[in-house]
């Protein structure tokens, strides 16, 4: 057990919901099963695992349900942190169930446990002065104005494709993760732990000794990277929808990267090779892990796990 490697694996959005799907539970369960099958190579090679996941589409659907419930039945609206907790619970349930199904099919036996995870942020983080993350339903301009009268602190942005207005919230940096010691202990004991779902539930201290949720969305890969550092993980995997990180992505001069050093990754970031809505946050999460003691971060597609030279490896240097 002492020589067993510990890996944190961050599920990408397509691990739960694929393009063109409506988000039915059956679809998401099947997708999770396929992704968990990809993790078998790590399990069979003796790795202890911590799994994190995205939750954007799921929280979006929950917010739509909350919005409809308030309009049609006068059910009190739930804040974003509660909706995030909802999503952590049901996605964790799907991962526990489908991963167990995969293990049983392959003659393996491991406990799988989900921890609803709070992540501490700073209410004075500059991200709160410049919210950028769209969430929830689309509104007409009249509906948006009515909501602003009701909650003047809310911010909205107009959809560039003309679908209407959406609420936007901040994406602050995580500064601490609840129960990180328990995550490490459980995982090193051989249990598969699901934690930091959706980047965690953002919380802060409005006064000393009192935690409270806050409307925000934490980057899932960055929070997962921080957890990997805290629990002294050997390796950090970011699963996405491409097999390798590329320069000049989707152009005639596209170049797939097998291994990049920290200094090279920083140079590529500065040169604008990675877009903010896609690969740039993943590269920053990889850098955070490797620069703070991690051995290697591998960015790849789930189906590539276990294959020789799979993914892009971010290493020190």
pLDDT digits (tens, 9 = 90+) for 2-44: 568 999 999 988 789 888 898 899 999 999 999 999 999 999 9
Most confident of 128-137, 153-162, 226-235: 226-235
Q: Tell me, yes or no, whether 152 and 287 share the same domain.
A: no
| Residues 114, 91: Cα–Cα separation, whole Å | 9
Examine residue 82 and state whether it is found in any structural domain, yes or no: yes
Examine residue 1 and state whether it is found in any structural domain, yes or no: no
Q: Tell me, yes or no, whether 204 and 258 share the same domain.
A: yes
Lowest-pLDDT range of 53-57, 107-111, 300-304, 306-310: 306-310
Q: Tell me, yes or no, whether 144 and 292 share the same domain.
A: no
Predicted local confidence at residue 117, as pLDDT = 98
Examine residue 90 and state whether it is found in any structural domain, yes or no: yes
Examine residue 302 and state whether it is found in any structural domain, yes or no: yes
Examine residue 68 and state whether it is found in any structural domain, yes or no: yes
| Residues 238, 219: Cα–Cα separation, whole Å | 13
Q: What is the domain range of residue 223? A: 6-122+178-315
Predicted local confidence at residue 3, as pLDDT = 61
Give the angle 207-208-210 at the CA atoms, nearest 5°: 70
Task: Examine the fold and report which residue of 140, 169, 198 is the final residue of a domain before the chain moves on.
Answer: 169
> How many domains is the chain built from?
2
Examine residue 271 and state whether it is found in any structural domain, yes or no: yes
Mean pLDDT of all residues in 116-135 = 96
- Does position 176 have pLDDT exceeding 90, yes or no? yes
Q: Tell me, yes or no, whether 162 and 270 share the same domain.
A: no
Q: Tell me, yes or no, whether 156 and 265 share the same domain.
A: no
Residue 219 maps to which CATH number? 3.40.1160.10
Mean pLDDT of all residues in 62-78 = 94
Q: Between 317 and 236, whose confidence is greater?
A: 236
Q: Tell me, yes or no, whether 89 and 11 share the same domain.
A: yes
Q: Tell me, yes or no, whether 57 and 92 share the same domain.
A: yes
Per-residue pLDDT tens over the stretch 239-269 = 999 999 999 999 999 999 999 999 999 999 9
Q: Tell me, yes or no, whether 182 and 235 share the same domain.
A: yes
Q: Tell me, yes or no, whether 10 and 142 share the same domain.
A: no
Lowest-pLDDT range of 21-25, 45-49, 80-84: 21-25
Per-residue pLDDT tens over the stretch 195-228 = 999 999 999 999 999 999 999 999 999 999 999 9
pTM of the predicted model as reported, rounded to 2 decimal places: 0.95
In this prediction, residue 307 has a pLDDT band, given cuts at 50, 70 and 90, of: confident
Residues annotated as catalytic (active site), given as ranges: 13-14, 133, 220, 282
- Does position 1 have pLDDT exceeding 80, yes or no? no
Predicted local confidence at residue 19, as pLDDT = 85
Q: Tell me, yes or no, whether 28 and 146 share the same domain.
A: no
Q: Tell me, yes or no, whether 236 and 87 share the same domain.
A: yes
Mean pLDDT of all residues in 186-201 = 98
Q: Tell me, yes or no, whether 86 and 144 share the same domain.
A: no
């Amino acid at each position: 057990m002492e020589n067993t490697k510990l890996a944190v694996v961050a599920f990408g959005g397509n691990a739960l919901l694929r393009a063109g799907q409506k988000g039915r539970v059956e679809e998401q369960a099947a997708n999770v099963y396929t992704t968990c099958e990809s993790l078998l190579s790590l399990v069979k090679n003796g790795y202890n695992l911590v799994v994190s996941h995205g939750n954007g589409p799921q929280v979006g659907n929950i917010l739509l349900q909350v919005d409809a419930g308030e309009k049609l039945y006068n059910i009190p609206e739930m804040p974003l942190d509660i909706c995030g907790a909802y999503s952590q619970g049901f996605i964790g349930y799907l991962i526990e169930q489908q991963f167990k199904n995969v293990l049983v099919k392959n003659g393996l036996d491991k406990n799988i446990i989900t921890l609803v995870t709070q992540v501490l942020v700073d209410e004075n983080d500059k991200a709160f002065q410049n919210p950028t993350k769209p969430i929830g339903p689309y509104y007409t301009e009249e509906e948006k104005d009515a909501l602003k009268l009701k909650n003047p602190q809310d911010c909205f942005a107009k959809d560039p494709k003309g679908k209407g207005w959406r609420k936007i919230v901040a994406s602050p940096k995580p500064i601490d993760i609840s129960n990180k010691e328990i995550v490490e202990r459980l995982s090193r004991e051989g249990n598969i732990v699901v934690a930091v779902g959706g980047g965690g539930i953002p919380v802060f201290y409005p006064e000393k000794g009192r935690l409270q949720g806050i409307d925000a969305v934490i980057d899932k890969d960055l929070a997962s990277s921080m957890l990997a550092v805290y629990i002294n993980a050997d390796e950090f995997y970011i699963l996405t929808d491409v097999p390798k990180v590329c320069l000049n992505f989707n152009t005639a001069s596209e170049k797939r990267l097998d291994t990049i050093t920290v200094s090279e990754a920083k140079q590529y970031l500065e040169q604008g090779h990675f877009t903010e809505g896609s690969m740039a946050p993943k590269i920053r999460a990889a850098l955070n892990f490797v620069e703070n003691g991690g051995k290697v971060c591998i960015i790849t597609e789930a189906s590539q796990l276990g294959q020789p030279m799979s993914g892009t490896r971010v290493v020190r240097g």
